[in-house]
Amino acid sequence: MLQRLSELNHLPIRYKLVIHFLLISILPSILLGVLIGWAVDRIIEQQVNDNTLQLIDKVNRTVESHIENVQNMTYFISFDPHIQSFLDGEFQIEDMNPDEEYGISQFLQTFTTIHPEIAGILVVNSEGEYLSNELYTRSAFQLTRESWYRQAVEHNGIAKTIGRPEGRRITSHAHYREDEVVTVVRAIMDQETGEEKGVILIDLKLRVIEEAVRSVRLGKSGYLMVIDLDGETIYSPTPLSFIECDIESSFSQNFGIFTDYIQNEEYQLIYQKSTFTEWITVGVFLADQAVSEVQQILFYVISFVFFVCFVGITASYFLSHTISRPINQLMLAMQKAESGDLTIRYDGEGKDEVGRLGRSFNTMIKQIHKLLSLTERQERKKREAEFHSLQANIKPHFLYNTLDTIQWMARKKNAPDVAELVGSLSKLFRIGLSKGDTIIQLEDEIEHVKNYLQIQTVRYKNKLNYSLMVSPSIKNLSILKIVLQPIVENAIYHGIKERRGPGFISINAQVKNHMLIIEIADNGKGMCQETLAQLRESLHTFLKYSDDENESRLKKGYGIVNVHARLQLTFGDQYGIAINSELNKGTVVTINHPVLENHQVLD
């Protein structure tokens, strides 16, 4: 993966721009199209499911309304005095006169006339005798032993709905089949003894439910069907049966959605359970059947993505060409300049970044040509100056020999103070030159400043005193050359010299927190806070004064600033000089220097 990314970095900028434009235009469009398609599919699917549940709820309410009307009829029939007398066993059918029989028949006929959805009404007493307007028994079988009769009794006076009753020994004059009616039965109970007095049976035509369910269509091929809790089909517009699943687990909630395989095809089932009829209305349609609105939206989304891809590829190719062409021209000009042809010029006239870069390239080539000519002249003058310098050079050993001769003559003339002074000066020069080294041992640096202090002591006599405190364990450390002498010189000329009476300078070197700390303290005049602030500002902005030597020397504490600059330029910003001073009390200069061993130089 990393290797492939590395290879992409080596592609020409033209191809990079094409890839970039494709990524920022086509890829987001594709992702947006996929997201829109997914969101629309989910939203419409949710809306379809919600609408289907609403349709199912509407169908359930219609069916429940018809069943409730039938149940109410059982109450009206049971309240009739003749029906009550029949159920109480106060008269037998054979004892009824024609008027009573006709009256009961007309009474039951009224319900079927007013409600044409009623297929028939049957009233059975506990003795097995019955009254009816449309229904009659097929044989002399005792009706009280019928399953529908026992179910009615088991419900203890509460109406029971039986979908598609099977195995009944009763029929109707209209010859309705068992799969063409839905039966509602209710037992009439004796309120004192709690025993059944009889059962009222009413057959409801299945076409009532069929009319409520068949008018609902789900998509292109979906439909509604009604089943009972046992999974038996009460109504289905097709002979297709999906009872291949566990009814109790699949329809455990009052409503829900799940998928099931019917004849090796995946169907989505949306159902709602009726607590009144204890039936389940199920919407059945193919799971992969796309809604026409979703297909239309997906068509528009795909068309949009295709259009964006076409425009994006064309635009990216054109834009990449307009951007890469002037860059290639500038690159060719740079290659010729790299080969040594400084007469080459970039000819682009654009005002964009590449055009400005090309004009800057032309200006740079002109400046390089001028600088090369100037460098040639300077090199010629430098060689001439070096020749004259070699002629006037005084070698260091000639100076050392001359000072040794003066020292020997002073001792011969019995002038030990002159000899000691000349010796200190000779050592001062010898350590200061140090064979050109910039890093010397701390012991040599201490010896250098000690010789300088000895010379200054001769000059100022009793006005100057000093002390050097350096642990022998750190004398072998290395230090940047000539960092103590400029600070001591500054302490003498700006501190001790301005003080009344004798002055004192102390130099203390130690290693602390993995850093060489050297403190140079004097009890001279010191500085006011304004002067101290100016000097600290000079230390902070020392690089501003490095270009003009004369200006730098006019700043306060030039020697200290110079030492601070050398330390930071050599070792880093964490090293350098810190100054504290009080007027008429003295000054303390602290040098923070890295711990170096064996002339080690930090990178």
- The sign of the torsion formed by the CA atoms of 291, 293, 296, 302 equals negative
Q: Which two tokens stand for residue 84?
A: 């009550």
Q: Which two tokens stand for residue 591?
A: 């040098």
Q: Is residue 399 part of a domain?
A: no
Report which of residues 255 and 98 the model is more confident about: 255
Name the CA dihedral angle for 298, 300, 301, 303, rounded to a multiple of 10 degrees: 120
491 lies in the same domain as 378: no
Give the DSSP H or E segment for 197.
strand 196-205
Range of the domain at 562: 465-597
In residues, how long is the chain?
603
Task: CATH number of the domain at 197, please.
Answer: 3.30.450.20
Q: What pLDDT band is residue 389 in, cutting at 50, 70 and 90? A: very low
List, in sequence order, the alpha helices (H) in 223-352. 247-250, 292-338
Highest mean pLDDT among 45-54, 114-123, 223-232, 297-306: 114-123
pLDDT at 523 over 50: yes
Give the distance between the most distant pair of CA atoms in the chain: 182
540 lies in the same domain as 504: yes
Q: Which of 108-122, 194-208, 246-260 is least confident?
A: 246-260
Q: Is residue 321 part of a domain?
A: no
Q: Which two tokens stand for residue 293?
A: 């609105």
198 lies in the same domain as 224: no
Task: CATH number of the domain at 528, please.
Answer: 3.30.565.10
Q: What rounded mean pLDDT belongs to the chain?
A: 78
pLDDT at 386 over 50: no
Report which of residues 120 and 599 the model is more confident about: 120
Q: What pLDDT band is residue 565 in, cutting at 50, 70 and 90? A: confident
Pick the last residue of a domain from 289, 324, 350. 289
Report the number of distinct structural domains present in the chain: 4
pLDDT at 509 over 80: yes
pLDDT at 54 over 80: yes
108 lies in the same domain as 184: yes
The average pLDDT across 302-326 equals: 76
pLDDT at 555 over 50: no
Pick the last residue of a domain from 210, 243, 278. 210
For residue 462, give the amino acid letter.
Answer: N
Q: Can you state the angle between helices 206-214 and 13-78, rounded to 10 degrees?
A: 160
pLDDT at 136 over 50: yes
Q: What pLDDT band is residue 547 in, cutting at 50, 70 and 90? A: very low
- pLDDT for 477 equals 92
The average pLDDT across 370-394 equals: 58
**Cβ-Cβ contacts under 8 Å for 39 (sequence gap 6 or more):** none
Pick the last residue of a domain from 392, 415, 432. 392
- The sign of the torsion formed by the CA atoms of 372, 378, 384, 385 equals negative
Q: Is residue 303 part of a domain?
A: no
Q: What pLDDT band is residue 319 in, cutting at 50, 70 and 90? A: confident
527 lies in the same domain as 485: yes
pLDDT at 326 over 90: no
Alpha-carbon gap, residue 43 to 37, rounded angstroms? 10
8 A C-beta contact, residue 468 and residue 443: no
226 lies in the same domain as 277: yes
Name the CA dihedral angle for 507, 513, 516, 517, rounded to a multiple of 10 degrees: -30
Q: Is residue 49 part of a domain?
A: no
Q: Is residue 471 part of a domain?
A: yes
Helix (H/G/I), strand (E/B), else coil: 234: strand
Alpha-carbon gap, residue 423 to 487, rounded angstroms? 22
Environment class of 388 (CB within 10 Å of its CB; exposed 0-12, middle 13-18, buried 19+)? exposed
163 lies in the same domain as 124: yes
For 474-503, how does the pLDDT look when each residue is reduced to its tens digit (9 = 90+)?
988 999 888 898 899 889 888 888 888 889
